[in-house]
Amino acid sequence: MSVLNSNIPKGPLAEKWQNHKNSIRLVNPANKRNLDVIVVGTGLAGASAAASLGEMGYNVKAFCFQDSPRRAHSIAAQGGINAAKNYRNDGDSVYRLFYDTIKGGDYRSREANVHRLAEVSVNIIDQCVAQGVPFAREYGGLLDNRSFGGVQVSRTFYAKGQTGQQLLLGAYSALSRQVAAGQVKLYSRHEMMNLVMVDGKARGIIARNLVTGEIERHSAHAVLLCTGGYGNVFYLSTNAMGSNVTATWKAHKKGAFFGNPCFTQIHPTCIPVSGDYQSKLTLMSESLRNDGRIWVPKAKDDKRKPVDIPEEERDYYLERRYPAFGNLVPRDVASRAAKERCDAGYGVGQSKMAVYLDYASAIERYGKAEANKQRLPNADKATILKLGKQVVAAKYGNLFEMYEKITGDNPYETPMRIYPAVHYTMGGLWVDYNLMSNLDGLFVLGEANFSDHGANRLGASALMQGLADGYFVVPYTLGNYLADDIRTGPISTEAPEFEQAEKEVTDTMDRLMSIKGDKTVDYFHKALGKIMWDKCGMARNEQGLKEAISEIKALREAFWKEVRVPGDKNEFNPELEKACRVADFLELGELMCYDALNRNESCGGHFREEYQTEEGEALRDDENYTYVAAWEYKESGEPVLHKETLEFENVKPTTRSYK
Amino acid sequence: MSQNTMNLKLKIWRQKGASTPGKMVDYTLNGVNPEMSFLEMMDVLNQQLIEAGEEPVAFDHDCREGICGMCSMFINGRAHGPMTGTTTCQLHMRHFKDGDTITIEPWRSAAFPVIKDLSVDRSSFDRIIQAGGYVSVNTGAAPDANAIPIPKEDADSAFDAATCIGCGACVATCKNASAMLFVSAKVSQLALLPQGAPERQERALRMVEQMDKEGFGNCTNTGACEVECPKGISIENIARMNREFLRASLVKKKKKAGMAAS
Ligand code: SF4
Ligand code: FES
């Protein structure tokens, strides 16, 4: 038998979660008082879990590296959150949300988990509204919805372009209430540096107080990692600057398996890189593709201004290649098509690594409609454009403003330049149905786990998963696990395992501080990012991946010889923080390449150039790769692959076609 | 797109730690690309300092897209610099000129002690929220989301107040270092919604009490906070909070009087 047991409950798909809830063990309130839980990360998953567990009576310790839990990167999510409420009466249902998510994930996720996600999606909206989250509403006072990411129903709830902010502030308020009640103790500006395993169970963490540099031991009966994704392995991504893999990577090195690390999502509509000083990339909401048309010039190296290029000399390549879906193809398809044009030499802008997103025809179309509405049959062109701009401003004004702030260009007058950028990582630590990793007592929630999005995540699903895991899944499944621990008593931090884990941390830091080389941490991070982007990015091939593996090894060696970390370890030292994180990215990058090399197929965000159809579309290999690749860390030598076979009992995998 | 790079003089506040005195230090930075963001300009400076064997300038930042509220620099005497509606991370160098001298300081307020250089401790904001910036509803106890219709206008006003990013620019800008704009934004958001109604009086009292405890100054209605707030939080919220507070104080007094009489 495989070492991986997904612990999916028996019974029909739609009844699994309810049956499971009915049969799992509970911890009574008096005993919860004697149980400690560590939650690392305070984004949607972490804040919602910490708050809910505090309400239930557990003693919770919550950690975040930011100066306040309210700043976790969930805050930056723009578009919205899906829920199968069917408030539109447009035929939505739990099953449809489940089906869309499975299909969107290109049949590489677990049916049972995804169905549960769809089930609890409706409770999330109720919870958030009760907390005072100001979702968009209609004039009648009821909640508004919009459609998103190419699905056929309107199931996305939103708060203008800052849904993530409002949901996170809701979870943060619930968390704050538990802090006030004494149920949650908050450790801001703390970074988890190691996991502590005692007798085969996760029993604590080693954390660094980022203000004083002090190394602290924290014990608990269970540890929850809610630390987000690892997109910053690419250096440039839409992630916040501090987003990192350290917590999950340290757990991986202690034995937790890493699931599908090569599944990364490249988002098609981001503001392109402007120079080598660039520190991060900014996403422009996907909703812009609803009305914008994407094109490049038909001639290579066309130096004309975009507005001077006549219609017939433009290549609207998405409309050309995918007449049925046009500019609305899924994220992975749109991203690859942009890369294809730029690689072929048709890119625009200074770097030639950008395509145009054009609103001129939308402005004209809306302007005409508006002129009709206002009964101005003879409106001249200027009036039509003026009216059109007003309509576009009402819909997308904040995005256009953001674009102008960053680029200095006015998108009402000239097309925006966009290019794909790393946005989300579907891979993460492997977890079972209970969200527990293969290490007892180590739970992983939200983007940090691998579980629900398969090889490609649909828009407006990340917020849903983070909150589902934290509010509605782990509060049940954790109790089932902790039922065995009610008589354990407090875990001592004097155990030799704590001593050892702490020593590992101080040794690493001492080593980093003592190198005193001549290159900055960013130098290595950028070099790693370039290898990853070129060889393990939007398109991968065997040769490139093999090269990447040896290049990363060499880079890692150079890092440990030549990096310079200024300052002292016993003080506030952002460069040391970065150095510790980059050291882990330098190991993770290699694993991602192994995973991409192993998967001899193309699916979702993973595109292997050897496996494509004649028209350049992804070619899945269901016979050989319908599994989760769960990797085991080895101190020396290559990582070891374990497979969890995915069973599709309710949905039959088919080829995704958007032609 | 301008290709001309700029040479700048920077005057930056350097302070080793909370208990050591700080001072302004001069730096010259050449070859600044106008397309850079302000924080990317700081990155370039820091890379040069590290390579020269010096200590880089510590500053707070995370999302770099104007939403997390972590960045916090006082640039040429203004919180988040010269542009309105813009956080430091969203400020770009094209708004400066070749040869400019730029002064960069941390937020200054007794309630925001300096940690190092430009980094300050804003945990007082967290404690104010903990004092009452929430609706007391446990997970799982919520009715259907559409059970209570909320007029669109109220929902929109609540949303506007809720967009505060907790950056502290309002405090840094206020000559009294008052936190009224921040506190009133949360009080207003929840007072405008039926969900927040049952606790509105207690909430206003407790949050204001915590604000005073943290050492923030009094509001004298100068309106400076509204001008510098990167999210355009309106001082109407302060007026609304004052009403909430007054009403709550009256109710409390009456209750006390009632209790004494019975
Ligand atoms: S009110 Fe404005 S300035 Fe004050 S913390 Fe909120 S966003 Fe910042
Ligand atoms: S870094 Fe997040 S708002 Fe500036």
Same domain, A569 and A587: yes
**Is A626 inside a domain boundary?**
no
| Residues in chain B closer than 8 A to A282 (CB atoms) | 64-65
Contact yes or no for B35 and A275 at CB 8 A: yes
Q: Looking at the domain covering B123-251, what would its CATH class be?
A: mainly alpha
Q: Does A303 touch chain B (CB under 8 A)?
A: no
Encode pLDDT of A562-618 as tens digits.
Answer: 999 999 999 999 999 999 999 999 999 999 999 999 999 999 999 999 999 988 889
CA distance A228 to A451: 13
Same domain, A360 and A436: no
Encode pLDDT of B139-166 as tens digits.
Answer: 999 999 999 999 999 999 999 999 999 9
Same domain, A42 and A29: yes
Give the model's pLDDT for residue A152.
Answer: 75
pLDDT over 90 percentage in chain B: 93
Side chain identity at residue A155, one-letter code: R
Encode pLDDT of A153-184 as tens digits.
Answer: 889 999 988 999 999 999 999 999 999 999 99
- Tell me, what CATH number does A414's domain have? 3.90.700.10
**Is A160 inside a domain boundary?**
yes
Contact yes or no for B90 and A574 at CB 8 A: no
Mean pLDDT of chain A: 95
CA distance A356 to B236: 41
Give the model's pLDDT for residue A404.
Answer: 92
Mutating to test ligand 1, I would choose from B229, B234, B235 the residue with most ligand atoms within 8 A of its C-beta, which is B229
CA distance B84 to A301: 38
Side chain identity at residue A570, one-letter code: N
Listed residues A369, A395, A422: the one ending a domain:
A422
Write the DSSP assignment of chain B as a string of letters.
Answer: -----EEEEEEEEE-SSTTS--EEEEEEEEEE-TTSBHHHHHHHHHHHHHHTTPPPPP---SSSSSSS-----EETTEET-SSTT--GGG-BGGGS-TT-EEEEE----TTS-EEETTEE--HHHHHHHHTT-S----TT-PPPTTSS---HHHHHHHHHHHT-----HHHHH-TT---HHHHHHHHHHHHSSGGGGGGHHHHHHHHHHHHHHTT--------HHHHH-TT---THHHHHHHHHHHHHHHHHHHHHHHHHH-
> How many domains does chain A fold into?
3
Listed in order, strand segments (DSSP E) in A256-399 are 258-259, 264-270, 293-297, 314-315, 355-358
**Is A644 inside a domain boundary?**
no
**Is A647 inside a domain boundary?**
no
Same domain, A429 and A393: no
B2: confidence class by pLDDT, cuts 50, 70, 90:
very low
Q: Does A128 touch chain B (CB under 8 A)?
A: yes
B262: confidence class by pLDDT, cuts 50, 70, 90:
very low
Say whether pLDDT at A302 is over 70: yes
By Cβ distance, the residue of B54, B60, B67 closest to A165 is B67
Same domain, A520 and A392: no
Encode pLDDT of A28-77 as tens digits.
Answer: 999 999 999 999 999 999 999 999 999 999 999 999 999 999 999 999 99
A1: confidence class by pLDDT, cuts 50, 70, 90:
very low
**Is A624 inside a domain boundary?**
no
Which fold, B6-116?
Ubiquitin-like (UB roll) (3.10.20)
Same domain, A366 and A429: no
Same domain, A79 and A222: yes
The single residue listed with the structure tokens 């609706």 is: B135
The structure's pTM equals: 0.96
Listed residues A394, A422, A450: the one ending a domain:
A422
Same domain, A29 and A67: yes
Contact yes or no for A134 and B61 at CB 8 A: no
Say whether pLDDT at A249 is over 70: yes
Burial class (CB in 10 A: 0-12, 13-18, 19+), A487: exposed
- Tell me, what CATH number does A210's domain have? 3.50.50.60
Same domain, A261 and A277: no
CB of B181 shorter than 6 A to ligand 1? yes
Listed residues A422, A455, A472: the one ending a domain:
A422
Same domain, A302 and A416: yes
Query: Once rounded to an integer, what is the mean pLDDT over residues A432-449?
Result: 98
Side chain identity at residue A57, one-letter code: G
Same domain, A50 and A160: yes
Same domain, A403 and A390: yes
Q: What is the residue range of A377's domain? A: 267-422
Show me where the domains of chain B are located.
Answer: 6-116, 123-251
Query: Is A331 designated active site?
Result: yes
Say whether pLDDT at B259 is over 80: no
pLDDT over 70 percentage in chain A: 99
CA distance A476 to A466: 15
